[in-house]
Amino acid sequence: MNTAGPHQALTLCFIGDWGDANLHRVAGWISYELIMRTRPETRTAIWSGVGGFDAVRAVAQGEVDIGLATPTCYVDMAHKGLGPYESRRVSNLRGLAVVPQFDRLIFGIRTSFGVRSMSELRDMKPPLRLAVSKDDGRMHYGYAAREVLESHGISLDDIRRWGGEILYFDRPPACITAMFDGNADAVLQEAIMMPDWQQMARKGDVQFLSFEPEALRRLAAKGMPSATIPAGYFEGWSEEIRALEFSDFLVFCRTDLPDDVAYLIASAMVQSRENFERGYRHIPRMSSSVTYPLDPAAMARTMIPLHPGAERYYREAGCL
């Protein structure tokens, strides 16, 4: 990467998602703003990924300059050496900005099974087809799903022993669509803003299972905080749902990113945030993949320590 000043030419590499989702859109937004603010020789590239452990590794090991990952708390786990990073803490990551997204990881099962709680799921042992992302060392979604089940005393092998089947999908929307289309009986996944969730709730075809308090305490000890979905978020659902926090996109880098480049990225995102929001404002705010409006003070709360260059901008702008 070029270490030239912000008004000279830069060469930066990002890692986003599969290429057609929100992390790539954020990376494209930042790339555009950098190109508009530097010399014409500036070049950027965006690698495809899954926005999980792969992004953390790629940035930490110097394969790319800027990473984007969701949820933000899983990058914090890497920084603190929690969960899968217990024996390999990643200490060279720094935050640049947060892009807000309201999201949770939840368990939904067809109402026809008559299962209304995680304890009933354990006791009734239904032969269900469960759609999840694979825990393959790349995706936060797959890791979190397995941890949620195990914290409740259930393994994927248990579900197979019940006569069920595990259906693996890389992308979260594919898991949800599998249940919506009738190809799965239950789903343990994030992306609660997907319309398929609302349509299943509207038809009374899905029962959401709140996670148990003791299970959530075990998950929190590993760095995975809990959160709730308010009553009424899903149409016809009058109860609060206890779930796993899965909010926000984190833009992060290594400690060796030049201060002036980190400053430039933070300032460009804050100053151009309304242009980025326009791509989401046609969607109701709490159903949007980006929870607009972007608040500069919230953008500065990155969980992991801010890069000094980004921190300098946020302080000058009155965000900290």
- Residue by residue, pLDDT tens for the chain (320 residues) are 444 455 689 999 999 999 989 999 999 999 999 999 999 999 999 999 999 999 999 999 999 999 999 999 999 999 999 988 988 899 999 999 999 999 999 999 999 999 999 999 999 999 999 999 999 989 999 999 999 999 999 999 999 999 999 999 989 999 999 999 999 999 999 999 999 999 999 999 999 999 999 999 999 999 999 999 999 999 989 999 999 999 999 999 999 999 999 999 999 999 999 999 999 999 999 899 999 999 999 999 999 999 999 999 999 999 99
How many C-beta atoms lie closer than 10 Å to residue 222's C-beta?
Answer: 14
Question: Do residues 33 and 272 make contact, with C-beta atoms less than 8 angstroms apart?
Answer: yes
For residue 227, the model assigns a pLDDT of 97
What's the pTM value of the predicted model, to 2 decimals? 0.94
Which among 113, 116, 139 is positioned nearest to 127, based on CA atoms? 113
Contacts of 287 (CB under 8 A, 6+ apart): 193, 195, 198
Question: Do residues 74 and 52 make contact, with C-beta atoms less than 8 angstroms apart?
Answer: yes
For residue 5, the model assigns a pLDDT of 53
Look at the alpha carbons of 198, 200, 201, 203 in this order and tell me if their dihedral is positive or negative: positive
Residue 131: helix, strand or coil by DSSP? Answer: strand
**Alpha-carbon gap, residue 88 to 81, rounded angstroms:** 6
Of all helices (H) and strands (E), which one includes residue 54?
Answer: helix 53-60
Structure tokens, 295 = 């608040």
For residue 286, the model assigns a pLDDT of 87
Q: How far is CA 242 from CA 79, 141, 239, in A?
A: 26, 17, 10
Which among 227, 235, 229 is positioned nearest to 206, based on CA atoms? 235
Residue tagged 């109860």 (tokens): 239
For residue 87, the model assigns a pLDDT of 85
For residue 7, the model assigns a pLDDT of 65
For residue 2, the model assigns a pLDDT of 43
For residue 23, the model assigns a pLDDT of 97
**Alpha-carbon gap, residue 71 to 55, rounded angstroms:** 12
- Omega prior to 71 cis, within 30 of 0: yes
Query: Looking at residue 26, what DSSP letter applies?
Result: H
**Alpha-carbon gap, residue 60 to 75, rounded angstroms:** 11
For residue 236, the model assigns a pLDDT of 87
Strand bridging mode 43-47 / 66-69: unpaired
**Alpha-carbon gap, residue 247 to 99, rounded angstroms:** 9
Structure tokens, 222 = 């590993």
Look at the alpha carbons of 65, 190, 304, 26 in this order and tell me if their dihedral is positive or negative: positive
